[in-house]
Amino acid sequence: MHRPRGNATSLSGQVLRIEPLADAVTEEILAKVIFDVMPQPLPPLGELGEVTVGLPGTEALPVIPSASVQRREGVLGVWLIVDGTLRYAPVTLGASDLDGDVQVLAGLRQGDRVVRYSQQALTPRSRIRIVERLTADAS
């Protein structure tokens, strides 16, 4: 977890206990988290913190950027570039992480070319021109 307000400190901790009571409205379960090492000085009572819980690793699976994922006619999928034309490929997705990548459980093969960014909504008949980046910021 790290403290807000511009302070870049990250502190490590553990989940102590998960409460047995669930909240019907917010669909949330409360969990209590403790610091591994008590920070000095102690943060004030009532201060907000952002907690990221590390989950056990999963098997290695192909990932795609979540920006590629579209929903078309109710089906989640991505746009593939096949022989210079567009094809919509439905996918089954797994877990996603905080950096915007998401696991692909089914629907794609190694080596498939997936559209990441596009200037307009795509259709199978759209004319496309593939470029390195769409804006100066694109990574």
Partner 1 sequence: MISLAGRDILHAWGKFVFTGIGLGLLIGVTLTMAGVYRGMVDDARVLLDNSGADLWVVLRVTQGPYAEPSSIYDDLYRGILGMPGVAQAANITYLTMQVRHSQGDVRAMVVGVVPGSLGEPGQPKQLVAGRHITRSHYEAIADVASGLRLGERVQIRRQQYRVVGLTRRMVSSSGDPMIFIPLRDAQQAQFLKDNDAIHQQRRRTAADPVLVRNEVPGLLDALLAAQSYPYVNAVLVQLRPGAEADETAAHIRRWNRQQVYTREQMEGILVGKLISTSARQIGMFLVILAIVSAAIVAFIIYTLTLGKIREIAVLKLIGTRNRTIAGMILQQALGLGLIGFLVGKVAATFWAPFFPKYVLLITSDTLAGLAIVLAICTLASVLAIQAALKVDPAEAIGG
Beta bridge partners of 81: 86
Sign of CA dihedral 63, 69, 75, 79: negative
Q: Residue 69 and residue 135: Cα distance in Å, rounded?
A: 19
Binding mask 71-110 for partner 1 (x = CB under 8 A): x-xx-x----------------x--xxxxx-x--------
Specify the 3-state DSSP secondary structure of 57: coil
- Pick between residue 85 and residue 126 the one whose CB is nearest to partner 1: 126
DSSP 29: E
- Pick between residue 11 and residue 69 the one whose CB is nearest to partner 1: 69
Q: Which of residues 34-53 bind partner 1 (CB under 8 A)?
A: 50
| 70 makes contact with partner 1 (CB under 8 A) | yes
CA distances to 4, 8, 35, 43 from 49, rounded to whole Å, are: 7, 12, 12, 10
123's CB contacts (< 8 A; 6+ apart) are 86
Least spacing, CB of residue 60 vs partner 1, in Å: 20
Stretch that binds partner 1, among 31-39, 54-62, 103-111, 129-137 (CB under 8 A): 129-137
- Pick between residue 110 and residue 120 the one whose CB is nearest to partner 1: 120
Q: Which residues bind partner 1 (CB under 8 A)?
A: 25, 50, 65-67, 69-71, 73-74, 76, 93, 96-100, 102, 116-122, 133-139
